[in-house]
A and B are shown apart, each in its own frame.
Chain A
């Protein structure tokens, strides 16, 4: 066991746990944050994506030790109904989902993309989401929603 500290959605957080446990397990278990979803446990589907620094990474594939002193943003930190992130507003406007299980991870990947590239074109959006799987076929709506959010964020 080790005491590992990081910033989670801007809040200093300390976790006393086996450092080899996955970040997803820590989030969903002791931290009781269920926004990041378990999909495969192998970093292949993106349902559990979180932002570390300015990159979206699969929390299921990220050991706790590796996030020491890092800045982590989860879907819970993106926004809320009272203060939605432009992406969240855009996903509602475009009805950009069917079942929605993959959406938390996709919102996170999109937010990381917009941090690095505020005006991504269609190809850049698709490339950034290529490791996020959607089984329902909501892909094109999702891309439209991200374009809508980017346009909204570009307005000064």
Chain B
């Protein structure tokens, strides 16, 4: 049987979770309980999803109660990552609500004896001619939503008929956070709550060889000491006691030697010397190859970068006989549950993972690791819940990092310095080792147990899903020929996994800086050069918009510089162009970032601006300050002093223009700015100082090194 391509289909997330009642319920108190599988990580997603539902159902947004994701009931929407929540969850909710609206209109028509066409809905009240009326809530008892969504059953509203989409609705979670009402997992109060701490080595990969527990046993309120191989921890009646017991346990611990780490001053040499799996990501051949007069080769380095969440990771677990309930700020409750089942050797049905907000994570940090820690410690707690919180040092050293990258681009130029060939090669560890996706677990404690699971070596998502190390490595520009190659390391002395943008920050940095360099050699304006190599009108629009907004190109004054960067995130997501204004001699200060962004339909424009501003400032921090530091056998950047981030006095002004396109399906904004901001700053440094810095971060040291390398 063949299905005609025009057959209506459900959005992927709804097709995977078709039961309408799993998404939405009308509750007896006149509210709508909306249950997405995506989670709030500070990006404002729950508000945008509530807007979509309120619009489609015609209810006041104040009636929409957002249910936190839980494996007990929520649709399984995988992981909240990759700027996909609006695309995946938003589309599913819009379609589910459209169908639910239609189902209720049909039921109302039957009850009221009126044509559907004569019925209208306002704030959930359904009314028709002659003052007849009912409501979602009145009908809810007779309308079962325990049925699967039907493709084509209802069409979502046209964008012009939506009241809330496109409006900057205040975020639903902000009041709790301003008034310090407990909302974070760290502040969750449960009856009989105990506190746990886990002992982790300072030496990288060291094994616990001996453990004297006497000191810890003497701590008041101690409930249990747990040891399984190199995994060890304490459970105590108070957090203070747990800290004291951990300190005592640390004194009684003997560790093996640490594993050897790369030389953090020569990451390229390390990355290029490892065994790799090589993949040709893309090739493009020119129909009429131009003659290369010369080839320039440039190498760009991105260091390991820490997620460095402002909160240490935290989880709570509670056992009831052989079932365990886990509260976690994981980005994927179902994926975490899969890994917990592997490690605990339990059927998944015996494990419930419930999402509670944590601080921003910016990718795969220790949120999932600490959930397993809590489950292991809680086993010894006699059925009481155990809250485990990592230390700042563990957060900075044991959580996965964004992978370091060495990127080499060779550009073939003809006699007029036009690009005729382009080869982009990446050496990097994989950019994801998220839990729940492999036959083996990706959780830290699993590698530490007496019978350990093998350490999960990070991999890359396929290019069709946006790619990993190779994300944004394929030029979005109309170049005549290219070859993109990814060398994924098969060793992993430094643990890596998903950090915001995966490889896109490094690749956009490399591509945009080399294009800038070629434009400069041609004495061509970098904006004009980019526009000349683009056909996509939305791409050209963001570049033109940012150039206009920044007054490109501002007059050159001594000690300042301007640079531009552009990317379409994943080559399929948001368009973003950035002009950076910097000043500097020995130290670079970013004064202003002017940004134009196109996410299609911006559901919550202020939410988009907030995400772009935040991404731009975080990227500035990465570019000017951040690199994970290590000695030969340990990570040394284990505090905010040793891993500084941008402070209030160093933050640039950020000016964002959103190009609103209500007719185009929305995409996420959270990762659009990082690559373009990185490139814009580096290009501004060249404009200011005449130095091409190809090694991040751009610090006084890297400026000096770049000056020494310059011809």
A37 touches B186 (CB 8 A): yes
B183, B618, B654: the one contacting A136 at CB < 8 Å is: B618
A40 touches B639 (CB 8 A): yes
Residues of A near B617 (CB, < 8 A) are 137, 139-140
A40, A92, A136: the one contacting B170 at CB < 8 Å is: A92
* Of B171-179, B270-278, B318-326, B566-574, the one with at least 4 CB within 8 A of chain A: B171-179
Residues of A near B360 (CB, < 8 A) are 98-99, 101, 135-136
Most buried by B among A25, A34, A136: A136
B178 touches A37 (CB 8 A): no
Report the separation of the CA atoms of residues A40 and B392 in the bound assembly, to the nearest whole angstrom.
Answer: 5
A140 touches B310 (CB 8 A): no
B641 touches A44 (CB 8 A): yes
Contact A100-B41, Cβ < 8 Å, known A35-B180, A126-B648, A133-B640: no
B392 touches A97 (CB 8 A): no
B309, B389, B648: the one contacting A143 at CB < 8 Å is: B648
Within 235-252 of B, Cβ neighbours of A (below 8 Å) are at 238-240
B640 touches A135 (CB 8 A): no
List 9 contacting pairs A-B, 8 Å CB cutoff, sorted by A: A35-B180, A38-B186, A45-B640, A79-B179, A88-B179, A101-B184, A101-B358, A126-B649, A135-B359
Report the separation of the CA atoms of residues A13 and B619 in the bound assembly, to the nearest whole angstrom.
Answer: 44
Question: Interface size bucket, B side?
Answer: 35 or more
Report the separation of the CA atoms of residues A28 and B174 in the bound assembly, to the nearest whole angstrom.
Answer: 21
Report the separation of the CA atoms of residues A97 and B184 in the bound assembly, to the nearest whole angstrom.
Answer: 14
Contact A39-B312, Cβ < 8 Å, known A44-B641, A137-B616: yes
Report the separation of the CA atoms of residues A11 and B312 in the bound assembly, to the nearest whole angstrom.
Answer: 31
Residues of B near A101 (CB, < 8 A) are 42, 184, 186, 309-311, 358-360
Question: What residues make up the interface of B, taking CB atoms closer than 8 Å to A?
Answer: 41-44, 168, 170-171, 173-175, 177-180, 182-184, 186-187, 189, 238-240, 308-312, 357-360, 362, 389, 391-392, 606, 610-611, 613-618, 621, 639-641, 645, 647-649, 651, 653-654
Which single residue of chain A is at the shortest CB-CB distance from B169? Answer: A95
A34, A41, A75, A76: the one contacting B186 at CB < 8 Å is: A34
Shortest C-beta distance, B271 to chain A (Å), equals: 27
The answer to the question of A57 belonging to the interface, with a C-beta cut-off of 8 Å to chain B, is: no
Within 111-156 of A, Cβ neighbours of B (below 8 Å) are at 123, 125-127, 129-143
A100 touches B174 (CB 8 A): yes
A133 touches B647 (CB 8 A): yes
Most buried by B among A38, A39, A95, A98: A98
The answer to the question of A2 belonging to the interface, with a C-beta cut-off of 8 Å to chain B, is: no
A34, A41, A91, A134: the one contacting B187 at CB < 8 Å is: A34
A34, A44, A88, A135: the one contacting B178 at CB < 8 Å is: A88
Sample of 16 further A-B pairs with CB below 8 A, known A80-B179, A92-B174, A140-B653: A37-B184, A37-B187, A40-B640, A41-B392, A44-B639, A47-B310, A76-B180, A95-B170, A100-B173, A100-B178, A101-B310, A104-B177, A104-B180, A135-B362, A137-B618, A139-B617
